Amino acid sequence: MNDSSPSRLRCAVLDDFQDAALRSADWSPLEDRVDVVTFRDHIAGEDELAERLAGFDIVVTLRERVPFPGTLLDRLPRLKLLVASGMRNSAIDLAAAERNGVTVCGTASSSTPPVELTWALLLGLARNLVTENGALRTGGPWQSTVGADLHGRRLGVLGLGRIGGRVAQIGLAFGMRVSAWSQNLSQERADEVGVERAPSLEDLLSGSDFLTVHLKLSDRTRGLLGPAELALLKPTAYLVNTSRAAIVDQKALLAALHEGRIAGAGLDVFDIEPLPADHPMRTAPRLLATPHLGYVTQDNYATYYRQAVEDIQAYLAGEPVRRLG
């Protein structure tokens, strides 16, 4: 897809770190009209984004990794279509997009991959898999840790939506006592999933052996777990967050990890992504961290990019689909 001419459109695919976008879907339906260019690096600043995207009519972006505020959209007069994976994106100023004549479309996204990664992190923490694997492969001590049990322990689920509900059901399959809380959690929803509805956030935090976060980021949830809330966790408790970093006060979490006030944390989301090389989360003790892999699976990528192609085709036909806003 490199036969550039004045009549052809240009499409930028952002953050294709694994060089997977063009292999995950069939882009050939676009080859007569669109040149597709993938970017394997992350473009961080607004000035650089404006410069590097200035020559593109279409942009495909992953999740909410790259912000598209009005100030950026105002600087991209050639942009006409913005495709984001998922059907919700708080990083795009939809009003500014409409003002600039930019159509914004989304794609389907499966809740299964983040559920599975949540349990990978939780199990990895509980059984000290990184420590034990590292020791085994480097001639270190044979059995240097004692794992935490799941059966009979209390799993606290913060947010019982699509993802939180499935995480809770897996906890029940492990024989855990599962409790959930959110500001709008009904007893009916708790009963539907088969878990206890905690009477308060404080009860959920103080009673959980494992706490996992599955809330949407909003004004109500931003900073929900601050220093006072994290102090309610048991020193033997583990915290897992595959939702949004800003729900948990990052400085307070780092302090709790360094001071040993919780047993450990499993994180897939961070306040800055990708994490700078000198970010304190990279060297924090008691931390099992992954580089925002919650949605990164073969099936999810196939859905994202297949439907991105469909979105572009529909836009070119004058009938946009899966519009956001």
Known catalytic residues?
244, 273, 292
Retrieve residue 304's tokens: 């994202």
What's the Cα-to-Cα distance from 306 to each of 21, 40, 105, 298, rounded to whole Å?
9, 19, 13, 12
Q: Are 306 and 88 in contact (CB under 8 A)?
A: no
* d(C-alpha 301, C-alpha 24), whole Å: 6
**Phi, psi for residue 105 in degrees, rounded to 5:** -125, 160
> For residue 191, what are the contacts with CB-CB under 8 A and spacing of at least 6?
none
Residues 197, 198, 201, 205, CA torsion sign: negative
Torsion of CA 83, 86, 90, 96, to 10 degrees: 20
Query: 3-state SS of 258-314?
Result: HCCCCCEEEECCCCCCCCCCCCHHHHCCCEEECCCCCCCCHHHHHHHHHHHHHHHHH
264 closest CA partner among 244, 245, 289: 289
**Phi, psi for residue 136 in degrees, rounded to 5:** -65, -40
Residue type, 45: G
Q: Are 299 and 15 in contact (CB under 8 A)?
A: no
Q: Are 113 and 295 in contact (CB under 8 A)?
A: yes
Name residue, tokens 């944390």.
265
